[in-house]
Amino acid sequence: MLTSLFNYHLPESSIAQRPLAQRDASLMLVLDRKTGRVDHSRVKDLARWLLPNDRLIVNRTKVVPVRLFADKTTGARIEIFLLRPSGGDRVWEALVNPARRVRNQTVLKLQPKGEAEIIETLGEGHFLVELRGTGPLRPFLFRHGHVPLPPYIKRSDDRRDRERYQTLFAREAGSVAAPTAGLHFTPVLLESLKKRGVGKSEVILHVGLGTFLPVSAVETEDHVMHPEIYEVLSETVKAVKETRKKGGRIAAIGTTVVRALESSRNENRELVSQKGETRLFITPGYNFGSVDILFTNFHQPQSTLLMLVCAFAGRDRVMSAYEEAVREGYRFLSYGDAMLLI
């Protein structure tokens, strides 16, 4: 399938640069995936679109501030974006920008302390980097690292992003980007869902390069997904099965939840508790087995996330809904508005 089938015109003015003052004040486009009907609502009214005995599944991953800045001995400023550990807590696969300014054995002075040595060139801006002199790394990152805002947000991160680029559910540190659907939820919204009789369970998928790497291949089957760590908990499997017995529906809060659940189906297509790495790439024609409803943000053109949404509700219907969202002034991408496919 041609990746160009998932292209659409996204004006720069439609890309949200900052979050709204209130998380659940975002617009919510509701798409009936059977009829193609589109309704316009708000996230704070999510409960009225769900039924008693339905169940939300959320991702409890927590974003780590993995963007670091360093200086060469020449004074040139370098950005280091840590992706994943590669042999202990000190050696990481990382994106380095500008890549042309570094090579093997280049030593960079981290801000505000410590150093990073380029120990191997992996190609396409990827390097193995050894970090030294920072003290325990995780506390160092949460104190001195920068929030890994995506490149389409054309500003530096600030103190507000440290709170707003985390979901209400964030507890397991491990992501280098937010599971953005979860950013809309507030205690008040959760209470309204609880009163409606909607349950809630959790999975873990640590968002990595597999989720946000752009698709450069001409055809979808030539795109290689990078592995991401996930876990589906035994109590979540039990809750899903009980929901099904009661006639309830499973509502995935975000594409990361879909991929975690679908990666945990066994050879009999049953959901089981397991953890590991997933490279699951969902495109139209995929046979879903664990999800009935999808709540998600609007995604970039030709992205794996948009392809997953098209697989769930049909390419033509989703692309038509995206065009309507642009016309109606919806805010797109990480800090943008939401979509409910029901």
Q: Which residues contact 231 (CB under 8 A, 6 or more apart)?
A: 203, 204, 205, 260, 274, 275
- pLDDT value of position 75: 87
- Confidence band for 132, pLDDT divided at 50, 70 and 90: very high
Q: Which residues of 187-211 are buried (b: 16+ CB within 10 A; e: fewer)?
A: eebbebbeebebbbbbbbbbbbbbb
Provide the 3-class DSSP secondary structure of residue 127: strand
* Residue whose tokens read 């929901």: 243
pTM (2 decimals)? 0.95
CA 337, chain centre distance (Å): 14
Whether the pLDDT of residue 123 is over 90: the answer is no
Strand partners, 217: none
CA proximity to 179, closest of 57, 39, 76, 331: 57
Whether the pLDDT of residue 211 is over 80: the answer is no
- pLDDT value of position 210: 67
- pLDDT value of position 56: 98
Average pLDDT over residues 331-335: 98
Domains observed in the chain: 3-63+162-341 (3.40.1780.10), 67-146 (2.40.10.240)
Average pLDDT over residues 232-249: 98
- pLDDT value of position 183: 98
Nearest-angstrom CA–CA distance, 191 and 182: 15
pLDDT digits (tens, 9 = 90+) for 64-106: 999 999 999 888 899 999 998 887 789 999 999 998 888 888 9
Q: What separation in angstroms does the CA of 32 have from each of 2, 239, 301?
A: 25, 25, 21
Average pLDDT over residues 305-315: 97
Q: What are 103's two structure tokens? A: 């090579």
Backbone torsions φ then ψ of 332, nearest 5 degrees? -105, 160
Q: What are 45's two structure tokens? A: 């009214």
Mean pLDDT over each residue of the chain, to the nearest integer = 95
Whether the pLDDT of residue 18 is over 80: the answer is yes
Amino acid at 59: N
Nearest-angstrom CA–CA distance, 17 and 24: 17
CA proximity to 246, closest of 53, 50, 49, 47: 53
pLDDT digits (tens, 9 = 90+) for 146-167: 999 998 999 999 999 999 999 9
